[in-house]
Amino acid sequence: MPVFRLCLKILKKQLPIMLVYLIVFLVISLIMSSFLAKEQLQQDRLFTQAKSNIAFISKENTPLVDGFKQELGRVANFIELPDETEALQDALYFRSVTYILRVPEGFTDSFMQGENVQLEKTAVPDSISSTYLDLFIDQYFNTARLYVQQMENISQESLVQYLQSDLAVSAFVELKTIGDQPLNQNFANYYFNFLAFSLLSVLILGMGALLLVFYDTDLMRRNACAPLSSSSVNLQFILAILVFTILAWSIMVAFCLLFNYKNSLNLNTLYFVINSLVFAVCGTGISFLIGNLVKSHNAIPAVNNVVTLGLCFISGVFVPMELIADSVLRIASFTPTYWFVKANNQIAKLTHFDFANLEPIFTSMLIQICFALAFFAAALVANKKRRFEDV
């Protein structure tokens, strides 16, 4: 099998640069996958409300206002600012504070007499922290208003004590889900998403170098004189491509199974592997097309960076899909990387493996296969045109 051995020798010469890409990308993938998986796990397990920075300005110093400020300190950090319009506006603009609360003069007397008085506030529009503070303030004064209405001549000191006792009561909340809990697939999900970048890079580098050498004009003419049929040459060439693709894919998948072996013995991992194999076939089609279009060794790394980075940035590999604009995702849906990442995200959430749950995953895989067929067809057209030009 001289053609097969020739292909292996060409790939062997490209091994150092491919190993650099492989090692660097694997290290980055493992580090990022581990970090993001731990961060996501902490977010899933624990929720704590962060304190907001606020400016508290009061025109009066009464037991009610002092008690309210003390209770407000449970959910807010008080930032001392001068009562000047420009200073307060600057603090709000630069987010030194997210909430400015002002107690107007005469507030306490009016409130204790049952009048409907309001505190003055200035907050960052539509912020979550402002909503939490609004809810806390409303709860405090709504409860206080009930005491003022139901207990005549109640003193401010007694009112503050009642409020402190009532608001100290908390409830334990436990969220339960219906059905089976999904397994912890955060590491595998992030890793296989990053795999799209590293696998595609290695395939383009290897395939581009292989096609540049194999379709050299002088070499093609020598092969035409060799006692080998064109079908035999093509079969050996295809076999070399398959061996190269399977080897690159196997190494990257093996690293994931090695570093995440505790969470790998499940059906989720099986579908991760199948989806990555489908993407490897699609990546081979992309690499085959690029290899037939590129005509310079120096152009291969440049094209590789543009294609892989472009596909991965818009498709959810480096940035989660939840953070990408809908218009960008609509554009990304015309790329196989988008469907690969989408299938990975769906696989990570699987708890039941019936057809209804697997159908969208199979659909994403089928779309990747369609992309692969389209790339191979385009590559064959480019290859035929190139052969006629070089003859």
The domains of the chain, with CATH numbers, are: 2-40+186-390 (no CATH), 53-167 (3.40.1710.10)
Region of 128 please: left (phi>0), alpha (psi -120 to 50) or beta: alpha
Cβ density class 60-98: b for 16+ within 10 Å, e for less: eebebbebbbebbeebbeeeebeeeeeebeebbeeeebb
Is the predicted pLDDT of residue 10 greater than 90, yes or no? no
pLDDT of 232 reads 72
pLDDT of 218 reads 67
Is the predicted pLDDT of residue 119 greater than 70, yes or no? yes
Q: Where are the alpha helices (DSSP H) in 104-185?
A: 107-112, 128-150, 156-167
pLDDT of 38 reads 56
| Euclidean distance between CA atoms 23 and 25, whole angstroms | 6
57: Cβ contacts below 8 Å, ≥ 6 apart: 81, 83, 100, 101, 102, 103
Q: What confidence tens digit (pLDDT) does each residue in 320-374 have? A: 888 888 899 999 999 999 999 999 999 988 888 888 889 999 999 999 999 999 9
| Euclidean distance between CA atoms 246 and 235, whole angstroms | 16
Mean per-residue pLDDT for 101-124? Answer: 88
Least-confidence region, from 175-179, 196-200, 258-262: 175-179
Q: Flag whether the pTM goes above 0.95.
A: no
Q: What confidence tens digit (pLDDT) does each residue in 19-75 have? A: 777 777 777 766 766 665 555 555 544 455 678 889 999 888 899 999 999 998 888
DSSP state of 76: E
pLDDT of 181 reads 46
pLDDT of 340 reads 94
pLDDT, the chain, mean = 82
Least-confidence region, from 81-95, 221-235, 262-276: 221-235
294 band by pLDDT with thresholds 50, 70 and 90: confident
Coil, helix or strand at residue 297: coil
pLDDT of 171 reads 66
pLDDT of 302 reads 87
Q: Please, which contacts does 126-131 make with residues 24 or more away whose CB atoms are closer than 8 Å? A: 127/98, 129/50, 129/52, 129/98, 129/99, 130/52, 130/98, 130/99
Tokens found for residue 352:
């039941």
